[in-house]
Structure 1
Amino acid sequence: MSAVLPPSPAPVSVPGPPSLRSAVLGFCIDLLIAIGLLLLLSVAGFAVWGFLRSMGEVQAVRAQGGSPSPAAIMAAIGQPGVMVQLLIALVSTATPAVLLYFWRRRATPAEQATSRAAIRRRSTWGWIAAVAAGVFMLSNLVSVLASALGIKPVPTNLPLMEEAIKQWPLALVVFAVAIAPAYEELLFRRVLFGRLLAAGRPWLGVVLSSLTFALVHEVPGISGNGVVAIAQLWLVYGGMGAAFAWLYWRTGTLWAPILAHGINNATALAALYFFGLG
């Protein structure tokens, strides 16, 4: 008597990649959430700082038996210092990146294993070095050509960086070389570019995420740069964002663009320290 075999299990259906429409919609939603949180937290941070400064002024005047006037309170608030601005920038930009990662683009265990394996490959470190060097050379080439044409833009964050490197050099190094690259890559490469990469549209992801990266770093209308100068900065930031997106795509680990980004920022800080301070 022959044994009766159990029926074969039904094949497990593997979901396909998201549609282009779904991926682009998700990209836009992620971007709007990030911008909204960034603006909200920035305003809240400066409001809290202003409130604390005003309360300190009120208490100081009352301790001397006086009555604080609105004009005196406003004068006491003044401009936030370098460290306050760095902390507000950290909270307002890192929070959306971390929130969106855990809420909408968290890596699966398989992706985490792939990333760990990728960062151990020698070729990954070679690509990190190559992209970091390429970004540095591209940025300098664009700057030299622009300078020859009489275009000399001033990045919006340059005055803050110049003051920070004088007053808080160690804090600036930690922020610019370690912290900022981590949360920027988490947002722009993992969340934004990664969504279109997962949908099978990597080149569209490179274009959209690098454009967003450039616009966020140099917002029109908040500096004295003209249209041509802003276009040059966008070219530099956009090229940088595209290179880091390609590096993430090529290596399969987010650690690659984080490290390349950190190397680039370290090089820029060194140049600012040795050549950019009067």
Structure 2
Amino acid sequence: MLLSLALLGGLSVAAIAAWAFVQGVRGVAPAQTGPSLPTTVAISLVATAISALIVYYFRRSANAVERRESWRALWRPSSWAWVALSVFVCTGYSALIHTFAQGANIDLTPTNQVFAQIVADHPIVVVAFAVLIAPAYEELLFRRVLFGRLWAAGRPWLGLALSSLAFAWVHEPPGLGATQGWGMVLLWSVYAAMGASFAWIYRRTGSLWTAYLAHAGNNLIACLALLAGP
């Protein structure tokens, strides 16, 4: 996790420096304008993706036999049932938490709410990225590497807990999210539940593809909710 964070920070700084250099060449003062929201989001997502791929390659890359068995496990009917159950449980729990927050008058604005305007302006590109690409590198990092290494070491429950907490904190960084206090705690519980669900079906089915599909399904529902919002 420390390695991935170090890579993420270094790549982000390098990308922003490169953007500032290009702006300078164009005669624009970067300090006055600053990166636009889409540019900032793009830098963050690309840096996260590259970090996840590097950590996966050096820490827990799959061999040909593992890839073949994972693909074979995906096509069991029970695997698809676990994917559907995971999407149902995660969306149901998220709805329950949002209902509770509304009743308790707790602000529950997720950080990904900043994507609402971007999704509205570029729905096809953003939804394709959020549904097809982002779940891939997040599953490689959080489930294959973080959870998988502790699973292989005989401590799957510890791996499930730690990878789920890391998954929650990355999506709602402590002190940096759009919501603070109890609202942030509730959002952490939502993301941690998602991470635990994805880790569970990965272990239960033996295929990372099932975790990826469950993750993609949840992201699709979230994007559709943003599109349908005010």
| Structures share fold, TM-score greater than 0.5 | yes
Name the TM-score, length of structure 2 as normaliser: 0.95
Whether the 8 Å contact between 1:42 and 1:92 is mirrored in structure 2 is yes
Letter in structure 2 aligned against 1:110: V
**Match of 1:43?**
13
Q: For the structure 1 residues 50 and 124, does the alpha-carbon distance in structure 2 shift closer, same or farther, using more than 3 Å as the test?
A: same
The reply to whether residue 167 of structure 1 matches residue 121 of structure 2 is yes
Q: What is the SS of the residue equivalent to 1:261?
A: helix
Q: Deviations over 1:177-222 (max 9, x none)?
A: 0000000001000000000111111111110100110111111222
SS in 2 for 1:246: helix
Moved more, 118-127 or 101-110: 101-110
In 1, distance between residues paired with 2:35 and 2:57? 35
SS at match of 2:110: coil
Poorly superposed stretches of 4+, deviation over 3 Å: none
| % identical aligned pairs | 46
1:17-41 residue CA offsets vs partner (Å, 9 max, x unmatched): xxxxxxxxxxxxxx11000011111
- Give the unaligned 5+ runs of structure 1: 1-30, 59-71
**Quick one: distance in 2 between partners of 1:110 and 1:74?**
51
Q: CA deviation at 1:81?
A: 4.1
1:18-37 equivalences in 2 (<5 Å): 31-37=1-7
CA distance in 2, matches of 1:168, 1:218: 24
The CA distance in 1 between the partners of 2:89 and 2:113, in whole Å, is 22
CA distance in 1 between counterparts of 2:176 and 2:140 reads 26
CA distance in 1, matches of 2:30, 2:48: 29
Q: How many residues align?
A: 230
Partner of 1:136: 91
Give secondary structure in 1 for the equivalent of 2:92.
Answer: helix
CA contact (8 A) 2:98 2:108 kept: no
Scaled by the length of structure 1, what TM-score is found? Answer: 0.79
- Is 1:211–2:165 an aligned residue pair? yes
- What is the 5 A alignment of 1:182-221? 182-221=136-175
Equivalents in 2 of 1:157, 1:53: separation in Å?
27
CA distance in 1, matches of 2:94, 2:178: 21
Distance 1:236 1:272, change over 3 A: same
User: Is 1:125 equivalent to 2:80 in the alignment?
Assistant: yes
Q: Tell whether 2:31 aligns with 1:74.
A: yes
Task: Give 3-state SS (helix, strand or coil) of 2:45's partner.
Answer: helix
Shift of 1:73: 5.7
Q: In structure 2, the residue corresponding to 1:57 is in which secondary structure?
A: coil
Partners of 1:218 and 1:234 within 8 A in 2 = yes
Q: In 2, distance between residues paired with 1:119 and 1:256?
A: 6
